[in-house]
Chain A
Amino acid sequence: MSIIDQRAADLVDEFGMFDDWMDRYQYVIDLGKELEPIDESFRSDDYRIHGCQSQVWLQPGENESSVHFKADSDAQITKGLIAILLRVVNDAPAMEVASTDLAFLDQLELKEHLSPTRKNGLDAMIKQIRLYAGAMAARSAQ
């Protein structure tokens, strides 16, 4: 099992403890509160992913052949979802991140938030993460 799949399975287990949506969303919000803060210099238009409903700032980073992102949002639920995504992809091999389909979000019953029509910036953030990871993997393969 890949690192990403293992982490996703852990999250699915964690979310399995909740039997109603309020507890599930409360947990998402709480995870957002523990998100590693981005460096202030990245809280700028250059690193902003413009959503119609909420906004996301994404700070890319890397460690040898692994990616390490920091991110933030002005909306708490969006921020919680960022925390979940980053918990899965951070410090995983760039190659794996570039090709993940993040299907586990379906099992968390949170996938609706990643729809591009939701306009909360998350869909674009995932695209951006995959692009960074893909570029990184290509560089390290050279």
Chain B
Amino acid sequence: MAETAKNKVIKPIKNFSLEEYISSGHRACQGCAEVLAVRHVLKAIGPDMILAMATGCMEIISSPYPLTSWNVPWIHVAFENAAAVASGVESGLKALRRKGRVPDKDVTIVAMGGDGGTTDIGFQALSGMMERGHKVIYVCVDNEAYMNTGIQRSSSTPFGATTTTSPAGRIKPAGQMTWKKDMVAIAAAHGIPYTATACPTFFTDLQKKIQKAKEVDGPSYIHILSVCPTGWRIPPNKAIEYGQLAVDTGVFPLYEVEKGVWKLNRKPKELKPISEYFKGQGRYRHLDEKFTLEIQDKITEKWNKLVKLCE
């Protein structure tokens, strides 16, 4: 794989690493865009890092004892505490470095969790980490449901998606009938120096953002949309395409908040209709025109608000 990359003339971003920090041979589903996101996050940071990971897909596919996919120091403790564990690693290394008990070098601390481990059960630990100001990059790899346990809804599951705990039925015709939690705004409200959204379809943008996060003095939060063919019920070869559609329809805009300044990183001239994004996704198959319009209105409204914030 490194050979192919080397032969390409395109050098999309500076310091694009040809090293792999998560090995192939892991147990992710075919077409998993989440593990692709992880791959780019690690490439953007390089070897001098420590990764604290929440229980979830990425943990379970990568670490069946005695095997490991990780070429970086990695720790998993529990579901809801990646941010707290990372806070501990950061504090421990800080003290040890100050006392001269570990080599005097910069080590980037990363915490990573899925949408369940971030927006639901790990929400408090994350808020604590950001408020206390630990220098940790928190990465949420959001596949919009608890995929690892069999596709249950989270507070990051979008309105209208069916999951095994938000099925569409007579009483709840749209399936999930609550709106996706706005984690970036919540993270930004903590006043941390850098927060952003990203998607592995736009991997240069993703890597640039991780590198920015690495440089800031304090906590950063990166929310990555990670298309999940298994949970979204799409063919595995469509993950990259759906990532593109999510961004181009305004369902998942790419933006960043740097020291309180909001900036859109990709602004299509005209948003594609969300019906294009919904089409082909099994989780939206039940939606009728009424709900599609309702969701379209909300997406447009949110997009317009975001554009205004970013002016």
A and B are partners in one complex rather than unrelated chains: no
Residues of B in contact with A (beta carbons under 8 Å apart): none
